A and B are shown apart, each in its own frame.
Chain A
Amino acid sequence: MLTYNSKDNLIFKLHPFTQMTFIGIVFILALVFSHPIYLLVLLMSVWVVIAAAGNLAEWKGYMKFSIVMVLFIVAINTLFARAGTTIIYRGPEIPLIGSLEISLEAIAYGLGMSVRLLVIISIFCLYTYAVNPDKALRLFSKMGGKSVLAITLSVRLFPLMMKDFQRISGIQRCRGVKLATGSWWERARNSIPIISIMLLSCMERSLQLAESMYARGYGSGPRSCYEKDLWRPRDYIILILTTIAMAVGIWSAVKGWSAFSYYPVLEQVDPLELIGAAITALALLVPAILNWGWMKWPILKSRI
């Protein structure tokens, strides 16, 4: 919530629905595809869009910790998968695991799955940094009534509670409550007063909030929805093309092109089957291409 920082580029200036559709479609395709090339192409598109959004620095941070996970996945898969037939290393007997056999297929499978993980982490990174949480919630508020309002309220109250927590801990420390010294258990026990005060204050505050909502007619009849975000040609262009990417992706999956069998031997790649990947990638790159044009030609800025 607190990580969003508005930037002046096309990705940030999209309608939240467009942003969420792009993110949703990439996420679904990452789950649908299992072909390593399809997944790599997806990763590349997301990477370019993140770069266009100007969030590459944050993405690198995400990647650093993901690499550890990737190594872990590959290692585990290599050690435990037995389905591969191209053995590249045969080691000694190890208790619990049995004889150590490392196959090419197992490594490839681990790598393939890692690419999928990287796509999902990257798209999550894009969501965290480029989508205004307010706008995203507003989008959902049209769909669900009370539950979305509850989320909105808790998001609004969260920074307040953080402030409460800091203030109350300070005050109680001035009253001799030890929060910085002592064992973990003692500190946990000593923070009980702070938690109780926060709970009491929260309950009082929620009653007052409910009163204020009632006084402004909440629950008095059907609600309407205040539209704040505007639609621009760029949104339609991107929506159409991401939908095409989705359709082509699904079609490739139905055709079996985007599937890949790792075991027992790695499947041969038919270049024709990669047409789906190419079209998907091109369509998903459109936001980045538009952003590039947007930056380069002011005329485009005013047109779309």
Chain B
Amino acid sequence: MADIKIQDLSYYYPDTIKPALNRINLDIFEGQFVLIVGNSGSGKSTLLRTISGLAPGFYNGTLQGKISLDGKEIAQMSHHQLVQEVGIVFQNPESQLVMMNVEQEIAFGLENLGLPDKLMKRRVMEMSSSLGLSPHLDSNVAELSGGQKQKVALAGVLAMHPGVLLLDEPTSQLDPVAAEELLNIIRRLNEDNGTTIIMIEQRLERCCHLADRILVMDNGGISADLKAGNRSSGIWMQKAPVSYLPPLPRLFARAGFKDLPLTVKQGRQFINSYIPETRGQNSFNSALDPVAISEIDSRENLVDIQNLWFTYPNTGEALKNVNLKIREGDFIAVLGENGAGKTTLLKNINGLLKPNRGSIKVAGKDTRELPIEDMARSVAYLSQDPNDYLFMPSVREEIQFTMKNLDLSEDGYGDEIINRFNLEPYSQCNPRDLSTGERQRVALATVLVSKPRLLLLDEPTRGFDYQLKEELGKLLLEINRQGTAVMMVTHDVDFAAEYARDICLMFDGGIIEQGSKYDVLQHSTFYSPQIAKLFNDIVDDVITVNEGVKALLGLTTSIKSKEIVTAL
């Protein structure tokens, strides 16, 4: 357990002139839970690296200023001492596990410390029981799920008994359920053991109620230091930049409220205190008018899936009797838990997998008869990791590569798409040097250059902050408006609610519900966006942020006018 004192800290990565951290002064007290937010490139990860001694210890570079732990400067501490004081867990579980076996992995750090066998056994036992890893001790790391792998990584660090735990976006690669579990473990560590926690996290709605303090970083410095005070109150948020707020408080902020609720419960208390008598009476998007319905029916079927069954040779049935139509102009989000068959469905549509039984027709042709390369012209596919696309030395060449593969003529569309995706400034840059959001835009451009009729996306918002998500959402809406049907698989219910038009819920290899997002998402308990939960039974058909703001404004103005009437 330790107090951290940072004085005048600046840090330069090797061969750079611009400091990654610029004159930071910060005191973090023992047992604090500190959350760091900020754009990519703002220096969040670098700050954690300097506190853990990785910069300059691992990265070299130049460090100016002082960081001390309990009055002892870390520059004076040996590598051996420092790793016992400060532990760090990274974003991607795949690239921080060293050993093949879970037990060995937890013991890896302890072996490095040269601890005696008896003590190591005890620490491994304690860590595995407290993190629920005991049943997996003998398992091969490769067999674990992403969430379990991240727990193993955490156990490996915690076994070394650090007083300070640093976490660099530990949940960004996990599905919501696994993320929640990991955050609970971290909260327990902080509350039960008093471990000091400094965590970088993009999705504040998951964790801002855990933190004592939120640091906003910008351009290598700390631009706001917000004390949460009482954890359940959201007083700190009034001072935070709106773009860092979670969707719920942001909605209230945009509607001009001063008090910002943090949870759906608080938000509903707020609303109910305004309008106890208007329950269930308001509605925004009244049922689709008959004209719109006939319009839907006349649209052409792009994809027609009938009685689709798919079985993986080793793991069994992944899709069971799926029926689905994708029409021109559709924007569908596919939701469902891990292993529900979402990705398998996408891969069947783009031809990477061929149906075992039943049929998929894309633009009238059976996918079994179409080579995947031919389908690539009409169906574009964007996977989770944009890095899987990028290898050319420049953005422009990356886009030209697709055009050459598909024998597309150079009609200037490549340049047009570069402009449309705001990639012009980087067209000569190496795509791998760009930020996450930019890389994804490049990958998207490389698949959209063939002017496909359907765009498939797999988990496009993984690891994104609110701003990046909004940019992506707007881009997808624009692509959709210009005539490309969009179907995306996601765990992000709020994102799906905001941008998609239809929702498809999958469970255990089948589609269990499908329809307009207003029908599917509104009254669900789990698959319902925060905004819908907020207005459930108070105002109908409110799902997106804009509808929420309108609803809030509508309610408050109606109250005000009523107040005026009663006053008269």
Contacts and interface: CB of A to CB of B under 8 A. Distances in A.
Are A and B part of the same complex?
yes
Contact of B117 (A221, A222, A226): A226
B372 A173 contact: yes
A196 B402 CA distance: 16
Contacts of B350: 174
B402 A193 contact: no
B387 A220 contact: no
Nearest to B108: A216
A214 interface: yes
Interface stretch (A41-49, A151-159, A253-261, A264-272): A151-159
Contact of B372 (A160, A174, A193, A221): A174
A174 B380 CA distance: 7
A286 to B, nearest CB: 27
A160 B401 CA distance: 26
A223 interface: yes
Contact of B83 (A175, A200, A208, A215): A215
B226 to A, nearest CB: 28
Question: Which of B84, B103, B351, B405 has its CB near the most chain A CB atoms (within 10 A)?
Answer: B405
Classify the interface of chain A: helix, strand, loop or mixed.
helix
B405 A214 contact: no
Interface in B320-338: none
A176 interface: yes
A209 B54 contact: no
Q: Chain A: interface residue count, which band?
A: 35 or more
A226 B104 contact: yes
Interface in B322-377: 347, 350-352, 371-373, 375-377
A205 B92 CA distance: 9
A193 B116 CA distance: 48
Interface stretch (B93-101, B217-225, B233-241, B418-426): B93-101
B95 A212 contact: yes
A146 to B, nearest CB: 13
B170 to A, nearest CB: 13
Given A152-B98, A221-B114, A226-B107, A170 B352 contact: yes
B83 A217 contact: yes
B388 interface: yes
A209 B432 CA distance: 19
A187 interface: no
A171 B57 contact: no
A234 interface: no
Given A211-B54, A212-B95, A178 B373 contact: yes
B69 interface: no
Contact of B95 (A170, A208, A218, A221): A208
Interface string A201-244: 10011001111111111111111111110000000000000000
Contact of A221 (B80, B390, B405): B80
B466 to A, nearest CB: 25
Given A156-B141, A215-B88, A176 B352 contact: no
Instruction: List 8 tightest A-B contacts by C-beta distance, closest first.
Output: A176-B405, A212-B96, A216-B109, A217-B112, A208-B95, A217-B83, A226-B107, A220-B80
Given A152-B100, A215-B54, 16 more contacts: A137-B100, A138-B104, A167-B383, A171-B381, A171-B383, A174-B372, A204-B95, A204-B387, A215-B52, A216-B156, A217-B160, A220-B78, A224-B113, A224-B115, A225-B111, A226-B117
16 contacts: A134-B100, A134-B101, A134-B140, A156-B97, A173-B352, A174-B379, A175-B402, A200-B387, A204-B387, A211-B58, A212-B90, A215-B87, A217-B109, A223-B111, A226-B111, A226-B124
